[in-house]
Amino acid sequence: MTDTITGTITTGITIDAGQGYSSPLTITSGGIVSGATAVTASYAATLQVYGTLTGSDAGAGIGAAFQSGGAITNAATGTIDADGTAVRFAGAYGTLYNAGLIGPGATTGIAFSAGGTVSNAAGAVISGYSIAILGDSGGGAVTVDNAGRIETRVPEVFSYGLPYTAGIYLRDGGSITNESTGTIAAYTAIKARGDSTIANSGTIAAYNTGI
């Protein structure tokens, strides 16, 4: 059985076995969920977003916080945003497929602390003010397949004071494939540590360093 949200919720929701909403959960195109954290999942849940998630908490808001990994699909009509991190996977491996818009107002678009996979479809956008996709240190490798646009919005004049700004920042290694329709645009487009591979058939644009 699939839980579905079709209306507006302004206090955030929880996906939790035995209470709150159950997995898989669908936010329909008319569904709007907001709160300090719009959606919290306490286990490896599955979420499909056709509507809008917004986390707002004085710069610390989260659109979707998955505490034990899981899977998120953001459809072409979907938007996941926050004033902090739009999507955060912690605790276990996370998987995200994006065909819509992630992070237009966020500081960080997507953050992984235990490894994961991102697929960004043609025409889709993953954005962050300072980092669009972050694989955190000690958290495992992250795989990125980009056919859309991955970008940061920090102006060049401010980038000198933000040493961690990057379109994609893999602090524990991983792999990046930028397809022929893909664009990665940022002050520094890609930062990758550890065992990392990069294959580019598209566009990598940077004020400072491409890779």
Q: What is the pLDDT of residues 83-131, one digit of tens each?
A: 999 999 999 999 999 999 999 999 999 999 999 999 999 999 999 999 9
| 88 and 67 Cβ atoms separated by less than 8 Å | no
Q: What is the pLDDT of residues 39-75, one digit of tens each?
A: 999 999 999 999 999 999 999 999 999 999 999 999 9
- What's residue 183's pLDDT? 97
- What's residue 159's pLDDT? 47
Which residues is 11 bridged to in the sheet?
none
CA dist., res. 94 & res. 165, Å (int):
22
Confidence of residue 211 (pLDDT cuts 50, 70, 90): low
Pairing of strands 70-74, 19-20: unpaired
**Angstrom distances, CA of residue 172 to CA of 63, 69, 135, 137:** 24, 17, 7, 5
Q: What is the pTM of this model?
A: 0.94
